[in-house]
Amino acid sequence: MLPLLAEKLPQLSIAASLAFAILVPGPRLFFQILPEWREQKRKSNTEVFDRLCEVYRQYREQPDDDAIRAQLEFSATDYCKTHVNHRLVAIAFRSDSAVQVFQDLRRATHKVIYRNGKFQVATRPHSFPTEKRVKIWSWSALSIYFLAALMVFLGFASLGMELFDPAIAVAIIILAVIPAWLSFEAAAYTRQLKRLSRIGAVIHGGSPEEQVNSGPE
């Protein structure tokens, strides 16, 4: 065995050296490329947003021009990665923070559409979530999280203090995965509701003329 290992040692040494040469620079190259990629993405987003601002200035001067409206919606859709009606773009720019509105539109999983002369959420119940609904979901997510934490604590405490049969304690710990997952999903849904709630608040605080009287879609 030892003679065979001695014969293979040069080959193993070369293979180890090659693996080291390939693997070690990998993380370094990754952390060098990542900032460059982020910078390129930031510049690209900046260029898209600058274009959106430029088209909006044209839109303010000629709000009835169909071509400019189309350009405005195209630029907003390019930035938000979802279709945005030109009326909503105008309301966003007139709000306290247009960037916040566009970020919410970009991250929201439910589309905001303009139908029958008013804005609404594309999915049922189509209305924008109220602050009360957001709070209910927030407290629900927190309550389910505490339930999961309590189950884990109870399971480990039972194992240490022998309160229950060990099999029952282990089952409690395993079952805690269910409320933990539910709390994660509820928290994610709450964040979506918050975004839609902020968008709805901006729309309801916008100009009625922008919401209804901006011409055809």
Q: How far apart are CA 114 and CA 210, in angstroms?
A: 12
User: Does residue 39 lie in a domain region?
Assistant: no
pTM: 0.69
- pLDDT surpasses 90 at 122: no
User: Does residue 209 lie in a domain region?
Assistant: no
Q: Which one has a higher pLDDT value, 143 or 213? A: 143
Which range marks the domain in which residue 171 is found?
131-195
Least confident of 34-38, 139-143, 201-205: 34-38
**Given this model, what pLDDT does residue 37 score?**
59
**Given this model, what pLDDT does residue 28 score?**
54
Least confident of 44-53, 107-116, 151-160, 161-170: 161-170
**Given this model, what pLDDT does residue 9 score?**
43
The domain tally of the chain equals 1
Contact present, 93 and 207 (Cβ < 8 Å): no
User: Does residue 5 lie in a domain region?
Assistant: no
